[in-house]
Amino acid sequence: AALLMMRKETAKVFDLDDEPGPMREAYGYRSGFGQGCLLARRLVQAGVRFVEVSLGGWDTHQDNFETIEGKAPELDVAVSTLIQDLRSKGLYERTVVLLTSEFGRTPTLQGNDGRDHNPHAFTMWMAGGGVKGGLRHGQSDDYGFYAARDKVHVHDLHATLLALLGLNHEQLTFRHAGRDFRLTDVHGNVVEEIFA
């Protein structure tokens, strides 16, 4: 009986037709990413703790400008609506929203119209869930090639996200084969400057 009830509740969450038409339109419902962001809000509202929504196609080794012009509006509409929707439903303060990509991009062209991967400078943003609004942390050099000030290593990012979720990354250490392991690979400093 409990399994049937879980299935019924899960089906309700995934039925986006339950949403009013104007709300679906606000998310850009016809795009897969817009549907994903709407579903993310519904999952958070239902108590799901971790949700990931992906928008592929950003690996712009060629046709960079055309690709960005096509994808950016879809991303902007869905993410801004997600944040407004989380706020209107009282979920924003307890939901960390992280927008990032797989890699930084070079500030120079690759070929005629592409951009290559850049592991030396990476931009992302966070909102909600204890993050200080309107803050910019870190800075690249004048060309955007290298991180130059207030650098945040990936281990620091993970430690900070865990802290925002109420977890101390240092307490997640376990010993195996004579070595300590944890999610932050026994490294990482919490970047408390970004906390509200």
Answer yes or no: is pLDDT of 196 > 80. yes
Half-sphere exposure of 2 (CA within 13 A, CB side): 0
Residue 96 has pLDDT above 90, yes or no: yes
- The pLDDT score that the predictor gives to residue 37 is 97
- Which is nearest to 173 in space by CA: 184, 163, 164? 184
**Residue 131, exposed/middle/buried by CB under 10 A (0-12, 13-18, 19+)?**
middle
* Angle at CA of residue 87, ends 86 and 89, nearest 5°: 65
Predicted TM-score (pTM) of the model is 0.88
The predicted pLDDT at position 163 comes to 96
How large is the average pLDDT for residues 58-66? 94
pLDDT at 30: 86
pLDDT score recorded for residue 103: 85
Q: Is the pLDDT of residue 69 over 80?
A: yes
How much of the chain exceeds pLDDT 90, in percent?
82
